[in-house]
Structure 1
Amino acid sequence: MTARYDEPNLIAKAGNAVIRRLAEAGVSIMGSRALRVRGRTSGQMRGVVINLMTIDGVDYLVSPRGNTQWARNARAAGEVEIGPRRRARRVAITEVPDDRKAPLLKKYLDRWFWEVKGHVGGLTPSSTPEEIALAAPSIPVFALAR
């Protein structure tokens, strides 16, 4: 895995904060969900909005901006809380190996490229499997336990 992290600008942070508050209240916009994860240093729960992707009955989290704080925290904690605050569920996660990410990333790009364009390692929905495989190490993907 590489250390790529495409940090959001102030406008993106403000927009994400609004979407996160809606997701925490139970309002999903195009698959958005509230995610909370315990901070590695502070131990405090940190919130972010993510797009939950389900493929063949397995839920996946993708960090298109790379090795973000939430991805590093999730990796360290081994679990996340997902869903609205009043109905959040704690779920164990496992990181998907780089060699298994390409088909998952292709589906993610097909669904959410309009939202993450420019922040997903230079990939587009028309990227070749080889291009996706080359970028995969810079995009953390986690599978949620059932």
Structure 2
Amino acid sequence: MSTHVQKPGWFTVNVFNRLVAWMTRRGISVWGSRVLAVRGRKSGQWRTTPVNLLTLDGRQYLVAPRGHVQWTHNMRAAGGGELHLGKHVDPFTATEVADDDKTPILRAYLKRWKAEVGVFFAGVGPDSPDDQLRRIAPDHPVFEITLKG
């Protein structure tokens, strides 16, 4: 497994993520944003972070543009979590997508959010050839989520 991680800068942590999370907690989705809540793999405490929820061919996915970050490790351990939009909470289970199956998901994700996250994909974009998307697939965990109930 790749150990690729791109840590967010000060502006992202202290301004952008906080603004998106604040809006999302108040029920305003910014291009599909949700607040992801997942239990910490060591502490058992709920951890939250803003994420972009991708719907593709009737399925829903969470993509980690910054790589193998804390929420991805926690998701693997917990097997699911909750997506929050305002007061609405959707519990879900998560299944990690194999690298060989990520190409269409990464392409759709980049098509939707390249302006926001494109810098984290090593120059690969939504119009890149499949082999380039397959090359970066190990660096970007993808989880298919299934809502409970």
Is TM > 0.5 for Structure 1 vs Structure 2?
A: yes
- Does the 8 A contact of 1:38 with 1:44 survive in 2? yes
Tell me if the contact between 2:21 and 2:34 (Cα under 8 Å) persists in the aligned partners: yes
Q: Residues 88-139 of structure 1, C-alpha deviation per residue, up to 9 Å, x if partnerless? A: 1210000001100011101111110000021124422232110100110110
TM-score, scaled to structure 2: 0.93
Q: Aligned partners of 1:120 and 1:73: how far apart in 2? A: 22
Partner of 2:76: 75
Spell out, residue by residue over 1:4-24, the C-alpha distance to the aligned partner (whole angstroms, 9 max, x if none): 000001111121022112112
Q: Is the CA contact (8 Å cut-off) linking 1:36 and 1:81 kept in structure 2?
A: yes
Paired residue type of 2:112? R
Separation of aligned partners in 2, 1:122 and 1:31 = 23
Matches within 5 A, 1:102-141: 102-141=103-142
| 1:99 corresponds to 2:74 | no
Paired residue for 1:54? 55
SS at match of 1:117: helix
Report the secondary structure of 1:118's partner residue. Answer: helix
- Contact kept, 8 Å, 1:121 with 1:139, in 2: the verdict is no
Deviation of 1:41 (Å): 1.3
- Which sits farther off after the overlay, 117-126 or 6-15? 117-126
1:18 aligned partner: 19
Q: CA RMSD in A?
A: 1.2
Contact 1:121 1:138 in 2 (8 A): no
Q: State yes or no: 1:6 paired with 2:6.
A: yes
**1:58 maps to amino acid:** R
- Identity, % of aligned positions: 40
Cα deviation, residue 85, structure 1: 5.4
2 CA distance for matches of 1:122 and 1:73? 28
Count of equivalent residues: 146
Partner AA of 2:98 in structure 1: P
Look up the equivalent residue of 2:45 and give its one-letter code. Answer: Q
- Report the TM-score when normalising by structure 1: 0.94
What letter is aligned with 1:115? E
